[in-house]
């Protein structure tokens, strides 16, 4: 097995331990970046040499791209966070001790995500996601403000219960598989399960999927399980908001999809599609309406994340090659665009000293680079060309309307309502007489890197990526 995959996993783990010991936060922030760079490089190496699946780890068409994406967003976020915390320290909101903790947790969080993505074992997957919850809960409460602790508490309680339900689902899967492939690891290994899926008792699978959907779905942020998401995004440090939206939601959804594959391969089990569609549509419509009354900029974009997770869930729910392809593309595009937006928001909030939307005005005038970047990000997330989100929404809407007209109309309605809110806000944020004039810390490179990728993807997708997505789309049924 090539060293690439181990490096991807070990680098963050080691760095997490190491960073816990580094007292100098500036050094730590750059070590953080370095570690992420290593991870990203290794993840790119995965494209070339694809190791065979082991009992614990697997690398296939589904997760290879997501791993690279995760490593990339991790890297850019680390770069962003280096500048971000500089300002936080300067303004005295964070002390070095907490920063040590923060950096360690950042790496640990990346580790858990990468582990979850590359896990070939249901147990490992569960442990990884549980670890991700733990680390993020602690980082959300980093500021120690009442609001942040309340957010962390809510996050823990809801996602803890979710995780518990997911574990129960996992046990049920094992229970279903064990008669077929005997006790032991085999009955909890993706590759094996997928191979013998057809012989597994479908009824238990159904039951298990319900628990897994509700469980992991909580972390995806699907309505009505979404309540933790906005507050966690709003109260934590902005880099964490970026990775929460950009990575954690994707990984949780990834878990759900793996199980969906299992059901699809089984054949006799209930089709989970309608369930996903209902939850997706409700998330979409709920979030779309919620956007109108938000006053806190980070909470605003957190709700937009819920909206997009809804769209994605709907896409996988309706299924079929086109919709699944659209869903996968949308996952990637959303994580890039949304984290880019959070980068911009972080700078904007620091520049204007408030998180209230009313307090931020005319960014394109006061900070042109930042303002236009934010605008571009919102345009991208709103699904306007030439950005990648448009392609996925195009595929989704057209293919849906051809098959389920009414659902298509609902989908379009939700997207349009959300769009109205986005335009309303972004115009006020980016145009008009400017408010905050403070200079911004750190580089805008991460923001524009993400936007560039999203832009390119909107115009041209590399063939191997397409091939992977199509393969996975076929598996998702």
130 binds other proteins (CB under 8 A): yes
410 binds other proteins (CB under 8 A): no
- CA 137, 139, 144, 146 dihedral sign is negative
**Cα–Cα distance between 32 and 261 in angstroms, integer?**
35
Query: Which residue lies nearer to other proteins by CB, 7 or 412?
Result: 412
Query: Which residue lies nearer to other proteins by CB, 30 or 431?
Result: 431
116 binds other proteins (CB under 8 A): no
Which of 53, 175, 410, 455 is in the footprint of other proteins by CB under 8 A?
A: 175
**Cα–Cα distance between 286 and 332 in angstroms, integer?**
23
Which of 39, 70, 77, 121 is in the footprint of other proteins by CB under 8 A?
A: 121
Query: Which residue lies nearer to other proteins by CB, 83 or 162?
Result: 162
- Nearest alpha-carbon partner for 296 in 225, 232, 370, 378: 232
Beta pairing partners, 57 = 119
Query: Which residue lies nearer to other proteins by CB, 4 or 397?
Result: 397
- Using CB under 8 A as the binding rule, the residues of this chain from 433 to 472 that contact other proteins are 433, 459-461, 463, 466
Assess whether the previous peptide bond of 386 is cis (omega < 30° from 0).
yes
User: Is there a contact between 340 and 451 (Cβ–Cβ < 8 Å)?
Assistant: yes
List Cβ neighbours of 302 (8 Å cut-off, separation of 6 or more).
229, 230, 232, 233, 234, 241, 245
Which of 12, 83, 162, 239 is in the footprint of other proteins by CB under 8 A?
A: 162
Which of 2, 178, 435, 443 is in the footprint of other proteins by CB under 8 A?
A: 178
- Using CB under 8 A as the binding rule, the residues of this chain from 298 to 337 that contact other proteins are 299, 320-322
How many other CB atoms sit within 10 Å of the CB of residue 202? 16
- Nearest alpha-carbon partner for 69 in 470, 450, 459, 460: 450
CB of 106 to other proteins, least distance (A): 17
User: Is there a contact between 60 and 261 (Cβ–Cβ < 8 Å)?
Assistant: no
19 binds other proteins (CB under 8 A): no
Query: Which residue lies nearer to other proteins by CB, 152 or 348?
Result: 152
Which of 10, 149, 369, 407 is in the footprint of other proteins by CB under 8 A?
A: 149
- Using CB under 8 A as the binding rule, the residues of this chain from 231 to 290 that contact other proteins are 231, 234, 270, 275, 286, 289-290
- Using CB under 8 A as the binding rule, the residues of this chain from 196 to 215 that contact other proteins are 201, 203-204, 206-207, 210-211, 213-214
CB of 141 to other proteins, least distance (A): 6
SS3 471: helix
Using the contact rule CB under 8 A, the part of the chain among 74-82, 88-96, 220-228, 436-444 near other proteins is: 220-228
State the burial class of residue 377 (Cβ atoms within 10 Å of its Cβ: 0-12, 13-18, 19+): buried
Using the contact rule CB under 8 A, the part of the chain among 11-19, 20-28, 29-37, 405-413 near other proteins is: 405-413
DSSP state of 227: T
């Amino acid at each position: 097995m090539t060293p690439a995959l181990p490096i991807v996993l070990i680098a963050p783990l080691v760095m997490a331990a190491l960073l816990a010991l580094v007292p100098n936060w500036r050094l730590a922030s750059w070590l953080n970046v370095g570690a992420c760079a290593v991870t990203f490089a290794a993840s790119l190496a995965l494209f070339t040499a694809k190791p065979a699946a082991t009992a614990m780890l697997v690398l296939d068409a589904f997760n290879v791209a997501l791993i690279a994406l995760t490593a990339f967003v991790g890297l850019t976020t680390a770069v962003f966070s280096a500048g971000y915390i500089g300002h936080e320290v300067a303004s005295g909101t964070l002390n070095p001790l907490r920063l040590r903790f923060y950096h360690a947790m950042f790496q640990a969080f990346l580790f858990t995500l990468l582990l979850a993505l590359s896990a070939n074992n249901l147990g490992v997957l569960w442990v990884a996601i549980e670890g991700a919850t733990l680390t993020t809960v602690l980082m959300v409460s980093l500021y120690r403000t009442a609001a942040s602790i309340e957010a962390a508490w809510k996050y823990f309680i809801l996602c803890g219960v979710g995780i518990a339900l997911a574990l129960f689902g996992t046990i049920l899967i094992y229970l279903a598989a064990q008669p077929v492939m005997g006790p032991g690891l085999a009955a909890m290994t993706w590759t094996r399960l997928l191979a013998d899926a057809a012989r597994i008792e479908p009824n238990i699978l159904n039951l298990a999927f319900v628990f897994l959907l509700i469980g992991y779905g909580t972390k995806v942020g699907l309505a009505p399980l979404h309540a933790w998401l906005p507050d966690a995004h709003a109260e934590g440090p902005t880099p964490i908001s970026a990775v929460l939206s950009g990575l954690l939601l994707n990984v949780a959804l990834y878990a759900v999809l793996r199980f969906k594959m299992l059901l699809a391969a089984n054949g006799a089990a209930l089709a989970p599609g309608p369930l996903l569609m209902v939850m997706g549509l409700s998330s979409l419509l709920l979030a779309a309406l919620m956007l109108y009354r938000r006053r806190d900029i980070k909470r605003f974009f957190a709700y937009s994340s819920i909206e997009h997770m809804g769209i994605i869930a709907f896409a996988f729910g309706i299924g079929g090659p086109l919709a699944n392809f659209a869903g996968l593309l949308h996952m990637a595009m959303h994580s890039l665009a949304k984290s880019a937006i959070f980068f911009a928001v972080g700078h904007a909030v620091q520049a204007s000293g408030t998180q209230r939307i009313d307090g931020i005005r005319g960014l394109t005038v006061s900070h042109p680079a930042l303002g236009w970047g934010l605008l571009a990000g919102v345009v991208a997330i709103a699904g306007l060309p030439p950005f990648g989100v448009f392609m996925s929404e195009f595929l989704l809407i057209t293919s849906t309307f051809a098959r389920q007209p009414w659902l298509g109309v609902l989908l379009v309605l939700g997207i349009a309502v959300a769009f109205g809110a986005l335009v309303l806000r972004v115009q006020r944020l980016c145009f008009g007489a400017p408010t905050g004039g403070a200079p911004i810390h750190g580089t805008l490179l991460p923001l524009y890197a993400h936007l560039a990728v999203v832009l390119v993807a909107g115009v041209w997708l590399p063939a191997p990526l397409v091939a992977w997505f199509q393969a996975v789309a076929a598996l998702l049924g």
